[in-house]
Amino acid sequence: MTVAVDSVRADLAALLGESRVHSEAAVCAPLAVDGKAPQVAVFPAAAEQVAAVLHYASEHQLAVIPQGHGTKLSLGSVPRQYDIALSLRDLKRVIHYEPADLTISVEAGITLGEFQNLVGQSNLWLPLDPRGGAESSIGGIIAANAAGPLRQGFGGPRDMVIGLKIATTDGKIAKTGGRVVKNVAGYDLGKLLTGSLGTLGVIVEASLKLFPKPPERATFMMRAGTLGIARELRRSILRSPLDPMRLVLLDATATALLDDSTKAPDRPDAELWIELGGSHRVIERCMLELRQLASAVGATLARREDAEVAWERMSNLAHWLQPKYRDVTVLKVALPLVATEEFLSRAQQEAESEKIALASFAQVGVGIVHLCALQETLGTSIGAWALRLRQAAAGLGGSLIIEHCQADLKGQVDVWGAKGDDLDVMRKMKAVWDPQAVLSPGRFVDGI
Amino acid sequence: MKSNALAKELARIVGEDGVLWRDEDLMLYEYDALSSMRQPDAVVFPRKTEHVVQIAKLALRHGLPMVARGAGTGLSGGSVATEGGILLGFSRMKQILEIDLENQRARVQPGVVNLDLSLAVADDGYYYAPDPSSQKACTIGGNVAENSGGPHTLAYGVTVNHVLGLELVLPDGEVIHTGASHWARPGYDLSGVFVGSEGTLGIVTEATVRLSRKPEAVKTLLAIYNEVVGATRTVAAITAKGITPAALEMMDGFCLRAVEDAVHAGYPRDCAAVLLIEVEGLKEAVEEHADEIEAVCRENLARDVRRAKSAEERDLLWKGRKGAFGAIGRITPNFYVQDGVIPRTRLPEMLDFIGSLEKKYDLHIGNIFHAGDGNLHPLIMYDERNRDQIGRVIKAAKDIITRCVEMGGSITGEHGVGLEKSDLMPLIFSEVDLELMGRIKNLFNPQGRLNPGKLLPTGKMCGELRGGLMGGGTA
């Protein structure tokens, strides 16, 4: 920070009011990103205040990290600089809501839990189970394009955002999209902001599509036993008329963890969890269908009661596992569907040879694999393991990012990995939005 | 630049048979489905990405505009060369490069016709979901540029929800690849910005798109109403039941009589409106939903609800719907299609308003549209020889769009801004919004040579519709 903390604090207090600006350690320390704590934390009450803070930061070259409830701050590279924590948690008004239109506009700080409670009253929901769970904010979910296993049935935030309001570094509020579900007017900057991790502008308001809740839901577990059988099951499910909401392949460690059992010697490897929604009659039919698919490959089928807790854990891996495994590292791998099982097999071999305790959660219908390295034993190298797996993923036509890890690992390994020939355009895009590079500097791909 | 001199240079890239430059040939490329404008200086037909790169470099050297064109079916003037220059026709880049069913994706050249992709995978039980009414002719490249929709986007989303990655040529000839062949590549979602950028940011030379599995069962219902308001009320009532049909289309009596005369699909000629509703999925779910929808239709005073008994009957109903614009063309010298969007609950109010405009301006306005997502397509009939009438058509169209905006809607749901609505953008976007879009455009297209005069306001005719009624606009 080139300017003294006290003067920054005073300037920001003049913009937002005293009560919305904090520099005391009790407030700033918990907002640290990769071990770096901000000098000042601000809690604006309105979109215009967010824009004013960005403008001020841009003028004074102060680095800002926008955040909702901080559930995804471990994602991304170590920030080059971090002066101001910009919390959106006080922006939580519902701007417009007409249940019959299946659309809603809300401010960015509203949490997913609060959001689902509100729309649930009309039997609607936003079918997202992102990292951070109920605690995560709508703005943060969009900024990280965070989607969990429900991506199988419904896509991700990218498919649900119909409009955004964005505070920009020149102190303005820009709008993209609108409040209707179908709209092709102008460039779709909402797509650009979705997944931009707070490096272009700050999402202050979002308009979203809503979905009717399925009347009933059921989760089934298909015990495959081997990755080969799991592959057959994946193929037959995706070719069947079933339309799963979630479809996740778990290894034995993962199923043991879900059952709160630590040891898993007699557990079958490769268990496929599938969640389906619909009327009672539809679910009965799905069960029959699944039973046939399972018996065709010699797998067993069982219905899982009370599956919701397990699904919540699977969508929020780092949060769930960290209390037990302080050093847990979560890798997220995106792959062509056909390569999923081969990659999992490779990951297991590499983990064994590095003596890494591994739990894997693979969304095999969308080609997204989460690998959790639970803890390191002496002499192992998570970094080397991750790099070898990144190579393996690239060889199979995929990519690998480190979604959660300790800050020191980020010094050894680029969390984002491979770059494409569109990197130059991405850099220019960053410069268009944030010429002073004050927004989350260094956290995004290639140090953007 | 003289057309023949330019043609010679282009022929060095693509060969003699890949260039058109004579006046009589260029005339065929001076219009699209919106209107007729000026001719390009030359039309060139690249066969591969490298050709597009060379053409871009040539255009850069001479400072010439470039406009990409698929099949020219666009309804907003997106593929007309408003400032001349080089028009790139993609009819020779129409190969499906790869079909990869197990990964549920296909890699195609931009000139592949939308329906051809679905047909290529139909026997394996797959299809490409976005289905614009022009799908027999329009191309994937054009769909990507316009972010095209169609009746079935209600449940499955528009083009952008089905594009995984793109290969693009930028105006200086640089080739970039955005997105990936799978979801979730790290970095900014540049594919998401390019889709729907109406050819103003780059030229698509290859697209990787998602293929969808055909549903087990489909049921198509035709709900028949003696009053329009019953049909419009049914729309929100269906979604209120927690059902998302695959398609939910409305046609008023005027349009369906024209359609029936042209197609003989079995639409009842004596009603005020019909809803064409389709539900898809597992057969049990489809049966339940069809029953519930039928009940909702009857609660909202449908006089009859028919179900298509065979695939042939279903195809015929859809042939009528998708061929509607052509059918209207049989009964009026010209018509003007609007493409506004409103929240679906406002449909009854909007249809009343459109009815009042017919009286106010002494015009015939037909309504045929994607009711489920509130995407209106009022068709305003006119005769281009009647200049006074044209003035009233423009006023009515403007009133409709203004009302859409007042209701919290949009100026275009799927046809694009293009040439037609670039000067209407200030109705929904502020100076700040437009300035930001301008900066994004400058990043890719700093000299504005790529598809000039489209999407962003020209500043010449603020708040006015352009191009639609300049002597073309026929069916």
Please name the residue of chain A whose CA is at the shortest distance from the CA of residue B347: A101
The three-state secondary structure class of B95 is coil
- pLDDT band at A379; cut points 50, 70, 90: low
pLDDT digits over A60-83, tens only? 999 999 999 999 999 999 999 999
The two structure tokens encoding residue B213: 């599995």
Residue A366 has pLDDT above 50, yes or no: yes
State the Cα–Cα distance between residues A9 and A7, nearest whole angstrom. 5
Q: What is the mean pLDDT of chain B?
A: 93
State the Cα–Cα distance between residues A316 and A329, nearest whole angstrom. 13
* A441 lies in some domain: no
**Co-location of A82 and A98 in the same domain:** no
Query: Domain total for chain A?
Result: 3
| Contact across the interface for A100 and B440, Cβ inside 8 Å | no
pLDDT digits over A165-215, tens only? 999 999 999 999 999 999 999 999 999 999 999 999 999 999 999 999 999
pLDDT number for residue B34: 80
Beta-strand relationship, B105-108 and B96-100: antiparallel
| Contact across the interface for B236 and A100, Cβ inside 8 Å | yes
For the purposes of burial, counting CB atoms within 10 Å of the CB of B312, is it exposed (0-12), middle (13-18) or buried (19 or more)? exposed
Q: Which residues of chain B make contact with A332, given a CB cutoff of 8 A?
A: 184
Residue A153 has pLDDT above 70, yes or no: yes
| Contact across the interface for A420 and B187, Cβ inside 8 Å | yes
**Co-location of A148 and A179 in the same domain:** yes
**Co-location of A196 and A253 in the same domain:** no
Which among A174, A183, A282 is the nearest to B410, CB-wise? A183
Q: Which residues of chain B make contact with A338, given a CB cutoff of 8 A?
A: 102-103
- pLDDT band at B38; cut points 50, 70, 90: confident
Mean pLDDT lowest among A159-173, A423-437, B172-186, B235-249: B172-186
Which among A181, A187, A212 is the nearest to B197, CB-wise? A187
* A391 lies in some domain: yes
Residue B461, chain A, CB below 8 Å: the answer is no
Please name the residue of chain A whose CA is at the shortest distance from the CA of residue B340: A183
**Residue A10 belongs to domain spanning:** 5-89
Answer whether A382's CB lies under 8 Å from A370's CB: no
For the residues A80-102, what does the mean pLDDT come to?
A: 97
**Co-location of A325 and A223 in the same domain:** yes
Burial B270-295 (b: 16+ CB within 10 A, else e): ebbbbbbbbbbbbebbbbbbbeebbe
pTM: 0.96
| Contact across the interface for A186 and B432, Cβ inside 8 Å | no
Instruction: Supply the CATH number for residue A51's domain.
Output: 3.30.43.10
- pLDDT band at B471; cut points 50, 70, 90: very low
| Contact across the interface for B188 and A182, Cβ inside 8 Å | no
**Co-location of A267 and A399 in the same domain:** yes
Q: How far is B191 from chain A (nearest CA, A)?
A: 8
Q: How far is B474 from chain A (nearest CA, A)?
A: 24
For chain A, give the percent of residues with pLDDT over 70: 97
Q: For an interface test with A, which of B166, B243, B282, B465 has the most A Cβ atoms less than 10 Å from its Cβ?
A: B282
Q: What is the value of ipTM here, to two decimals?
A: 0.95
pLDDT digits over B44-53, tens only? 999 999 999 9
**Co-location of A116 and A78 in the same domain:** no
Which among A103, A123, A168 is the nearest to B242, CB-wise? A123
State the Cα–Cα distance between residues B341 and B154, nearest whole angstrom. 13
Residue A243 has pLDDT above 90, yes or no: yes
pLDDT digits over B369-412, tens only? 999 999 999 999 999 899 899 999 999 999 999 999 999 999 99
| Residue carrying structure tokens 């694009």 | B416
The three-state secondary structure class of B151 is coil
Residue B188, chain A, CB below 8 Å: the answer is yes
Residue B469 has pLDDT above 60, yes or no: no
* A190 lies in some domain: yes
* A440 lies in some domain: no
pLDDT digits over B364-380, tens only? 999 999 999 999 999 99
**Co-location of A232 and A342 in the same domain:** yes
Listed residues A35, A70, A89: the one ending a domain: A89
**Co-location of A243 and A174 in the same domain:** no
Please report the number of interchain residue pairs, chain A to chain B, with beta-carbon separation below 8 angstroms.
Answer: 242
For the residues A47-69, what does the mean pLDDT come to?
A: 98
Instruction: Supply the CATH number for residue A162's domain.
Output: 3.30.465.10
Which among B180, B186, B408 is the nearest to A179, CB-wise? B408
Residue B370, chain A, CB below 8 Å: the answer is yes
The two structure tokens encoding residue B89: 């026709």
For the residues B97-103, what does the mean pLDDT come to?
A: 96
**Co-location of A299 and A373 in the same domain:** yes
- pLDDT band at A268; cut points 50, 70, 90: low
The three-state secondary structure class of B428 is helix
Tabulate helix, strand, coil % of chain A (nearest 5): 40, 25, 40
* A442 lies in some domain: no
* A230 lies in some domain: yes
Listed residues A62, A89, A116: the one ending a domain: A89
**Co-location of A353 and A254 in the same domain:** yes
Tabulate helix, strand, coil % of chain B (nearest 5): 40, 20, 40
pLDDT number for residue B448: 94
* A346 lies in some domain: yes
* A445 lies in some domain: no
For the residues B148-160, what does the mean pLDDT come to?
A: 92
Listed residues A212, A232, A247: the one ending a domain: A212
**Co-location of A120 and A83 in the same domain:** no
Look at the alpha carbons of B431, B434, B436, B441 in this order and tell me if their dihedral is positive or negative: negative
- pLDDT band at B472; cut points 50, 70, 90: very low
- pLDDT band at B467; cut points 50, 70, 90: low
**Co-location of A152 and A297 in the same domain:** no
| Contact across the interface for B188 and A175, Cβ inside 8 Å | no
- pLDDT band at A328; cut points 50, 70, 90: very high
Q: Which residues of chain A make contact with B413, given a CB cutoff of 8 A?
A: 180, 182-184
State the Cα–Cα distance between residues B71 and B291, nearest whole angstrom. 40
State the Cα–Cα distance between residues B213 and A340, nearest whole angstrom. 20
Instruction: Supply the CATH number for residue A343's domain.
Output: 3.40.462.10
- pLDDT band at B473; cut points 50, 70, 90: very low
